[in-house]
Amino acid sequence: MAVLTTEVLEILRHEAPVAIVTAGEGGPHLVGTWQSYIQVDGDALVIPAGGYRVTQANVEGGSPVQLLVGSREVPGPNGYPGSGFRLTGTGSFVDAGPVFERTKARFPWSHAALVVRVATAERLI
């Protein structure tokens, strides 16, 4: 069964901020992006990295990656407005090859692509 369900993919089609959390020596670290910046590649999410230096160090140190995504436009299971998920997986920073080239073409300011292989999607809203 796919981790990135139809509902998660629908949420990603709507514009909203995304919280990205990793952990390192300094504890939890939070950065953000926009849902419209995320490219879906199977069960992986590709995110342009303009900065993300602490995030990169944390990921290279073995930290898992968590993302919080949501949309008021996608109804939840109770029928009320709003739905959201915590996506958890492993990350890598790619600065060469086709994934990076596609990311760089769309976001010239990116120094790398953060590729998050999503292992779980937990409904929060």
Helix (H) or strand (E) holding 57: helix 53-60
CA 46 to chain centre: 7
Please give the angle made by the CA atoms of 5, 6 and 8, to the nearest 5 degrees. 65
The pLDDT score that the predictor gives to residue 21 is 98
For 8-51, write each residue's pLDDT tens digit.
999 999 999 999 999 999 999 999 999 999 999 998 999 999 99
20-33: b or e for each residue (b if 16 or more CB lie within 10 Å)?
Answer: bbbebeeeebebeb
For 100-122, write each residue's pLDDT tens digit.
999 999 999 999 999 999 999 99
**Beta strands in the chain, from DSSP E residues, in sequence order:** 17-24, 27-34, 39-41, 44-49, 65-71, 83-94, 112-123
What whole-number distance in Å separates Cα of residue 72 and Cα of residue 5? 17
Domains and their CATH numbers in the chain: 6-123 (2.30.110.10)
Taking CA atoms, 90 is separated from 44, 98, 114, in Å, by 9, 20, 10
Q: Which of 68, 113, 119, 107 is nearest to 92 (CA)?
A: 113
